[in-house]
């Protein structure tokens, strides 16, 4: 490629000639072309040569008689800027593990790689987006450049899972569903509603104490009491007739496990009686009392 756009030597530009020159260049479809100084080997003269545009390189420097000769970059090579390089640069970026190519190598741009979905770049590596722990929700989703941002769930909201996508969810409203609050929600779990009646003197509405709904309500009620985690573990051991070894976790995690265990147990047979006995055995008397009171289990 030979550039046809001739630029006069601008060694001594003066203010008055500058504006008309730019106008002329614009008319010719040439933006102001950068130049460089080059000493001609034959004549030993100092020349001002035109640079080559992006995508090309200097095949031959200019001489007194002809302008710079530019040629397009070969495959897998590029020049991004006006230049007087004698060779194009090699597209040296190679996409690594967990990366995807977001910009191909062409004559003007190096290859560009980015972390794949679910990863962000940290110190040259692609690292998986963090999950927000239970009690924390996603405030800002991770991007290829930034990790997930989590925040503690504020009052009225909860998150019960490890998730890199879920924000904190608002607690449900039992009244709107015509139910009553069985367990107040916190940052780790939702509010739990029940239609198991608590008022003794009204037998016209809702399930009666001792039936399925009430048993579930009892399970929820007990599981989410502020029982110390060692006591929770003990309670579960009493109810499991062949206790398994289990690791202690956070209270919220233990509560979830205990509740899941009770729900599983209930698939086999009613658990109300057994649970009350276990509460007594574990010396959780006040909780046993509250449960009896609340669910009319005298
Ligand atoms: C090379 O890729 C860049 C970015 O994708 C694009 O802007 C440019 O036009 C391309 N150049 C050529 C010569 O195709
Ligand atoms: C969340 O992740 C932590 C640590 O990786 C783990 O201990 C815990 O059991 C997980 N909790 C849930 C609800 O998946
Ligand atoms: C229903 O029971 C509550 C206490 O649980 C009592 O205050 C109220 O007077 C009772 N109402 C009737 C109609 O018996
Ligand atoms: C019993 O419950 C129903 C529905 O909640 C209510 O309309 C009714 O007034 C209640 N009766 C008493 C005696 O509390």
- Which one is predicted more confidently, 5 or 116? 116
- For ligand 2, whether the C-beta of 253 sits within 6 Å is yes
Ligand 3 atom having least distance to the Cα of 199: 5
CA distances, 1 to each of 29, 31, 218, 238, 271 (Å) = 16, 17, 84, 87, 87
**Ligand 3 pocket list (CB less than 6 A):** 199-201
| Residues across the chain | 298
pLDDT digits (tens, 9 = 90+) for 143-188: 999 999 999 999 999 999 999 999 999 999 999 999 999 999 999 9
Return the best residue to mutate from 198, 201, 296 for the ligand 3 pocket (most ligand atoms within 8 A of CB). Answer: 201
Confidence of residue 43 (pLDDT cuts 50, 70, 90): confident
pLDDT exceeds 50 at position 190: yes
Q: How far apart are CA 235 and CA 231, in angstroms?
A: 6
* Closest protein CA for atom 14 of ligand 3: 201
Ligand (nearest to CA of 200): 3
Return the best residue to mutate from 202, 203, 206 for the ligand 4 pocket (most ligand atoms within 8 A of CB). Answer: 202
Give strand pairing partners of 24: none
Two structure tokens written together for 174: 């039992």
Q: How far apart are CA 32 and CA 20, in angstroms?
A: 12
pLDDT computed for residue 149 by the predictor = 98
Helix %, strand %, coil % for the chain, to 5? 25, 20, 50
Confidence of residue 25 (pLDDT cuts 50, 70, 90): very low
The answer to whether the CB of 62 falls within 8 A of the CB of 46 is no
The answer to whether the CB of 294 falls within 8 A of the CB of 224 is no
Q: End-to-end distance of the chain based on CA atoms, in angstroms?
A: 98
Q: How far is the CA of 135 from the centre of ligand 2 (A)?
A: 11
Give strand pairing partners of 72: 56
Say if pTM beats, i.e. exceeds, 0.85.
Answer: no
pLDDT exceeds 90 at position 53: yes
* Closest protein CA for atom 10 of ligand 4: 202
Q: How far apart are CA 73 and CA 139, in angstroms?
A: 46
Ligand 2 atom having least distance to the Cα of 133: 1
- For ligand 2, whether the C-beta of 162 sits within 6 Å is yes
Which residue has 């055995």 as its token pair?
Answer: 281
Q: How far is the CA of 6 from the centre of ligand 1 (A)?
A: 26
The answer to whether the CB of 174 falls within 8 A of the CB of 190 is no
**Percent of the chain's residues with pLDDT above 90:** 70
**Percent of the chain's residues with pLDDT above 70:** 84
pLDDT digits (tens, 9 = 90+) for 54-96: 999 999 999 999 999 999 999 999 999 999 999 999 999 999 9
* Closest protein CA for atom 5 of ligand 4: 205
Q: How far is the CA of 64 from the centre of ligand 4 (A)?
A: 106
- The three-state secondary structure class of 178 is coil
Q: How far is the CA of 201 from the centre of ligand 3 (A)?
A: 6
pLDDT digits (tens, 9 = 90+) for 252-268: 999 999 999 999 999 98
What's the average model confidence in pLDDT over 15-22? 42
Q: Give the DSSP letter string of 250-275.
A: -HHHHHHHHHHHHHHHHHHS--HHHH
For the chain, domains (ranges, CATH) are: 15-90 (2.10.50.10), 171-294 (no CATH)
The answer to whether the CB of 173 falls within 8 A of the CB of 260 is no
Q: Identify the weakest region by mean pLDDT among 16-30, 124-138, 207-221, 252-266.
A: 16-30
Q: How far apart are CA 101 and CA 79, in angstroms?
A: 19
The answer to whether the CB of 93 falls within 8 A of the CB of 113 is yes
Closest CA to 98 of 71, 77, 78, 121: 121
Q: How far is the CA of 106 from the centre of ligand 1 (A)?
A: 6
Two structure tokens written together for 160: 């019960």
Close Cβ partners of 104 (under 8 Å, ≥ 6 residues apart):
111
Q: How many CB atoms lie within 10 A of CB 177?
A: 10
pLDDT digits (tens, 9 = 90+) for 196-252: 875 555 555 555 655 778 899 999 999 999 999 999 999 999 998 877 777 778 999
- For ligand 4, whether the C-beta of 202 sits within 6 Å is yes
Q: How far is the CA of 176 from the centre of ligand 4 (A)?
A: 17
């Amino acid at each position: 490629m030979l550039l046809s756009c001739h630029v006069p030597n601008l060694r001594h530009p003066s203010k008055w000639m500058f504006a008309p020159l730019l106008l002329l260049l614009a008319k010719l479809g040439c933006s102001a072309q950068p130049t460089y100084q080059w000493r001609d080997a034959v004549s030993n003269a100092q020349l001002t040569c035109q640079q080559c545009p992006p995508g090309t390189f200097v095949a031959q420097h200019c001489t007194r008689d002809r302008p710079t000769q530019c040629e397009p970059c070969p495959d897998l090579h590029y020049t991004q800027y006006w230049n007087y390089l004698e060779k194009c640069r090699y597209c040296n970026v190679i996409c690594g593990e967990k990366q995807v190519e977001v910009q191909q190598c062409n004559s003007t741009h190096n290859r560009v790689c980015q972390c794949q979905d679910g990863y962000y770049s940290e110190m040259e590596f692609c690292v998986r987006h963090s999950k927000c722990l239970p009690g924390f929700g996603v405030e800002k989703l991770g991007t290829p450049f930034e990790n997930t941002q989590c925040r503690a769930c504020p009052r009225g909201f909860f998150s019960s899972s490890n998730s890199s996508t879920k924000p904190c969810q608002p607690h449900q409203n039992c009244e709107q569903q015509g139910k009553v609050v069985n367990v107040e929600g916190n940052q780790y779990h939702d509010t739990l509603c029940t239609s198991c009646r608590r008022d003794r003197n009204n037998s016209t509405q809702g399930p009666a104490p001792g039936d399925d709904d009430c048993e579930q309500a009892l399970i929820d009620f007990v599981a989410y009491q502020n029982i110390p985690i060692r006591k929770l573990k003990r309670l579960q051991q009493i109810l499991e007739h062949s206790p398994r070894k289990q690791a202690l976790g956070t209270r919220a995690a233990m509560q979830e496990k205990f509740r899941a265990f009770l729900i599983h147990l209930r698939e086999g047979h009613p658990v109300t009686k057994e649970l009350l006995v276990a509460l007594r055995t574990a010396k959780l008397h006040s909780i046993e009392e509250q449960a009896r009171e609340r669910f009319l289990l005298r």
